[in-house]
Structure 1
């Protein structure tokens, strides 16, 4: 059995849960939007499944539910945002108008967000920029969960990155991936549902390979995708999202002092490029030609296509929520 809600109804419901547990209403709308978007598009590991984690983090005192982001113009092509120990989405929303203006003027601009908590999928951060005509790249660091290549204990975060570019006559191409073999949310789902992990995903507390998601979560570590290649990308994200922004490194995480906290106080780096100002000509049709080449090579589905298909169904038919999940949301709403 399932409950069917419109996207707007789902967003309102999530926002009310977050407000109920101490998040300012304007910030709650920002966060609820990305939670509902993930559920709408079938990204269940970053949708309602994470709502109890948001609530637990708010209740723990690890995050400031009334945080007001502070936007600073630090250079002609750089916007800095201090999220003030709040969620990343309100900070992104606060800095985006200036970031867009700079990218339109300069051709390229970056936003450096620090002192923020990002607990959501990353693709919602970049897709709107591509809809506005930009090529966008974002990356976020997080608390230590991944053992670098050759190590036996966790040190780096899952450190996701997302990319988006516009397409003529079609929604943007968007991808979002962790630097680990799978996202941490997938490990949490496997633990909840009693499923084994594939080979090569994680280590136990003794540094031995394991397929048990609970062993990975209980003192173990996840592994980077592609071995040393993914490890290098996770390191790059740590530099861009933490060192460059002034955010905390993953190993500096202090959430353990706040029982129940599930988020990381870390950083995010967002880079926008305006194709019209980058020196190329006829960029839109060239990108379309690139996609045609993918199809000619036998690629039947581009990144994001399945998400867009699920989105269309959700908009037309409503978002189907398992009854057990809906009951959990109602319990959270009741306090």
Structure 2
């Protein structure tokens, strides 16, 4: 029996369990959820390889408790794929290469498969020269960024990445959106422990978290954003409908958002956030954003005890009273869900399955 047949058999079993659980929640393992999500992406037109890559972008954050970037994002991906906003047949191309640089045109396709095509080159160049920079343009990326850097830290590297997106964040001071949430993620190895990893937006709150609050009918903290009149509001729907998010720390967060705009848009040759015309598309999510990724090998710089020094730093932080380190909460949640399973709404998953089909628009 081939792997494809095994996955199909597993999917049918999962589908049967979901049907039996209509109207209630059910616990699935990470593997089961990956099989289910990859099948959904295949039905939306992706190849089996790309479908599994995209399944991980939704399932792993859900497993780790990062719900704003977990299964919550799957409908956005499906709507975008079906509408033809993203080129599902994209063939990412390396348009410029040096011993420590890869400039990649994602051809208006998905960012994660595009990065995967140059991953081995990235690792090889980092080991050979001590560092490598990937500049990715014309890519669609609304996933958690830590997934792009944590695997590199597990290989002993220090990694930093950032992306821009369609504008929804005002500068400081400012009353209209110029930047995207412009998140960045960082990871590095830590001797005897999981890597140190953080993933954060330049805005006070990630747009996905504001969307979750809007869906739940909850207010957001004052300072999260403003309405279309430029007035502070705690109503997430007013922020999302013609308003703007605000950067964390005022001008300090705005400066970081500007830096991300320069690294992920100007340097990659991609579009600035305000140049991405999200409203002319069939759905408000479209490609054309950019991503900057820097990977460094500490050993090439002679830092053979780097991971131990990071552990010394981490211990000092804990001794000083810091209750947990970046990434700890995700690792704790990951261990729990790997043991107990991931709680999902059966009706929600079945609804997404029923909405997908193989007749999608492949232009992008």
Tell me whether the two structures share a fold, i.e. TM-score over 0.5: yes
- Does the alignment pair 1:230 with 2:253? yes
Q: Which of 278, 281, 288 in structure 2 is aligned with 1:255?
A: 278
Residue matched to 2:243: 220
Distance 2:95 2:211 in 1: 37
Q: Which of 115, 126, 135 in structure 2 is aligned with 1:103?
A: 126
Equivalent residues in 2 for 1:27-42, closer than 5 Å: 27-42=50-65
Distance 1:227 1:59 in 2: 38
Distance 2:26 2:222 in 1: 35
Q: Which of 102, 105, 113 in structure 1 is aligned with 2:136?
A: 113
8 Å CA contact 2:108–2:287 kept in 1: the answer is no
Distance 2:328 2:249 in 1: 24
Distance 1:320 1:162 in 2: 27
Residue matched to 1:208: 231
Q: Say which SS state the counterpart of residue 285 (structure 2) adopts.
A: coil
Distance 1:3 1:284 in 2: 40
8 Å CA contact 1:130–1:164 kept in 2: the answer is yes
Instruction: Detail structure 1 runs of 4+ shifted over 4 Å in the superposition.
Output: none
Distance 2:237 2:63 in 1: 28
Cα shift at 1:282: 1.7
Equivalent residues in 2 for 1:9-28, closer than 5 Å: 9-28=32-51
Cα shift at 1:263: 3.8
Distance 2:317 2:285 in 1: 39
8 Å CA contact 1:62–1:261 kept in 2: the answer is no
Gaps of at least 5 residues in structure 1 are none
Structure with bigger gyration radius: 2
Q: Which of 179, 188, 203 in structure 2 is aligned with 1:156?
A: 179
TM-score, normalising length from structure 1? 0.96
8 Å CA contact 1:141–1:242 kept in 2: the answer is yes
8 Å CA contact 2:138–2:287 kept in 1: the answer is no
Distance 1:29 1:67 in 2: 16
TM-score, normalising length from structure 2? 0.89
* Cα distance change on mapping 1:41 and 1:21 into 2, 3 Å: same
Number of aligned residues = 335
Gaps of at least 5 residues in structure 2 are 1-23, 359-364
Residue matched to 2:327: 304
Cα shift at 1:333: 4.5
Residue matched to 1:62: 85
Cα shift at 1:142: 0.4
Residues 160-192 of structure 1, C-alpha deviation per residue, up to 9 Å, x if partnerless? 000000011211110000000010000110111
- Does the alignment pair 1:242 with 2:265? yes
Distance 1:81 1:34 in 2: 20
Distance 2:155 2:179 in 1: 33
8 Å CA contact 2:191–2:308 kept in 1: the answer is yes
Distance 1:242 1:216 in 2: 25
Residues 217-274 of structure 1, C-alpha deviation per residue, up to 9 Å, x if partnerless? 1100000001000000000000000111111111111232222242442000100110
Distance 2:357 2:36 in 1: 12
8 Å CA contact 1:48–1:325 kept in 2: the answer is no
Cα shift at 1:68: 1.7
Cα shift at 1:3: 1.4
Residues 70-89 of structure 1, C-alpha deviation per residue, up to 9 Å, x if partnerless? 13452221011111111100
Residues 265-310 of structure 1, C-alpha deviation per residue, up to 9 Å, x if partnerless? 2000100110101243521211111011001101121111110011
Residues 79-135 of structure 1, C-alpha deviation per residue, up to 9 Å, x if partnerless? 111111111000111111111111111111100011100010100010000001100
Root-mean-square deviation (Å)? 1.4
* Cα distance change on mapping 1:158 and 1:199 into 2, 3 Å: same
Distance 1:220 1:108 in 2: 40
Equivalent residues in 2 for 1:73-84, closer than 5 Å: 73-84=96-107
